[in-house]
Structure 1
Amino acid sequence: MAYLRALDESATLRHHFRHADEEGGLWYIEAVPDRGELIVIKQAELTSAGQVHRYSCEHLEDEHGGLTDQAIDPEQDPLEAISAEEFLRVWTR
């Protein structure tokens, strides 16, 4: 948790992505570079029912899911780059 908080507080470059899952939900991701990898520091799921579940160093997991502990690779993972504004619209919803 301290590692994620430090990344969130010190990051100057942030990347934002969206990913659709098999159940019709959309995942919104904020990631920062660290040691050659993109580390997810915030993640929000917008379910097909319209619910939003948010995960970060403040709230790592709950009964619906949790913040990924894996680095992401936009070249390999099925991610769509989005704007910071789009991410924030979902995150603050």
Structure 2
Amino acid sequence: MIDLERIRAETVAYYRALDEDATLRHNFRHADDEGGLWYIEAVLGRGELIAIKQAELTSAGQLHRYSWEHLEDEHGFLTDQPMDPDEDPLEAIPAEEFQRVWNR
């Protein structure tokens, strides 16, 4: 039997540790095909760039935030895939720009 509670607790613990232990954070912006903007804060974990915070600002002006404190909801979820700035269409942005959207 799959213990979903244990898996969720381990996932939250993993992302929380990445967030709390990070000394260097990388911030990105990405426009989606529907006119929305994604703001991402990522850190290195296990040799890969891992998103620890993600905010979607929809074309309608709605803000959806995901982190270890709120992994998913009916609208979306914190990506579980490593990021590759060389492959993914990401634009590096200043930390202040990410924080301005995140704290909105």
- TM-score of the superposition, structure 1-length normalised? 0.98
Q: What letter corresponds to residue 20 of structure 2 in structure 1? A: E
Would you tell me which structure has more strand in proportion to its own residues?
1
Q: Which of 78, 86, 97 is 1:86 aligned to?
A: 97
Q: Which of 36, 41, 48 is 1:30 aligned to?
A: 41
Q: Which of 20, 23, 28 is 1:9 aligned to?
A: 20
Unaligned residue ranges in structure 2 (runs of 5+): 1-11
Partner of 1:63: 74
- CA–CA distance in structure 2, aligned partners of residues 79 and 67 of structure 1: 16
How many matched pairs? 93
Unaligned residue ranges in structure 1 (runs of 5+): none
SS in 2 for 1:48: coil
After TM superposition, give the deviation of residue 34 of structure 1 in Å. 1.4
- CA–CA distance in structure 1, aligned partners of residues 46 and 71 of structure 2: 22
- TM-score of the superposition, structure 2-length normalised? 0.88
The CA RMSD over aligned residues, in Å, is: 0.5
Ranges of 4+ aligned residues in structure 1 off by more than 6 Å: none
- CA–CA distance in structure 2, aligned partners of residues 74 and 60 of structure 1: 22
Q: Deviation per CA, 1:39-73, whole angstroms, max 9, x where unpaired?
A: 00000000001110000000000111010000100
Aligned-pair identity in percent equals: 81
